[in-house]
């Protein structure tokens, strides 16, 4: 099993907005496990946690974004402008033993 953390460091005052937006837009994403915001550590972080059976399954999911369905296009439209709410981001991929 693979766990993926997509981490966004938001501009001050935007972390909760980004988290709510992700929660709404990703509601039908079967791989999504949690959307989290920081309580300690670095401020203004939103972490989107996803789970996949394998790296191959993760890669296939990423490929699906290259050829989006109509539903995915509607989700992307809701996300328009979200990049203005964060400063930087990163991705961590873990293997679960």
Q: What are the structural domain ranges in the chain?
A: 2-95
Look at the alpha carbons of 29, 32, 38, 39 in this order and tell me if their dihedral is positive or negative. Answer: positive
Burial 14-34 (b: 16+ CB within 10 A, else e): bbeebbebbeebeeeeeebee
Quick: pLDDT tens for 10-27. Answer: 999 999 999 999 999 888
**CATH for 2-95, among 1.10.40.30, 3.30.70.100, 3.40.50.1970, 3.40.50.150?**
3.30.70.100
Quick: pLDDT tens for 34-47. Answer: 999 999 988 999 99
Look at the alpha carbons of 89, 91, 23, 58 in this order and tell me if their dihedral is positive or negative. Answer: positive
pLDDT of 74 strictly over 90: no
Does this model's pTM top 0.85? yes
Closest CA to 86 of 28, 33, 37: 37
Report how far residue 42's alpha carbon sits from residue 81's, in angstroms, rounded to the nearest whole number: 24
């Amino acid at each position: 099993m693979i766990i993926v953390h997509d981490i966004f460091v938001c501009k001050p005052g935007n972390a909760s907005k980004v988290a709510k937006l992700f929660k709404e837009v990703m509601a039908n994403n079967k791989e999504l496990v949690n959307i989290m915001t920081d309580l300690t550590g670095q401020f203004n972080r939103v972490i989107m946690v996803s789970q996949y059976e394998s790296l191959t399954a993760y890669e296939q999911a990423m490929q699906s974004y290259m050829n989006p369905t109509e539903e995915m296009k509607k989700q992307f439209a809701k996300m328009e402008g979200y990049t203005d709410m964060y400063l930087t981001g990163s991705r961590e991929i873990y293997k679960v033993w």
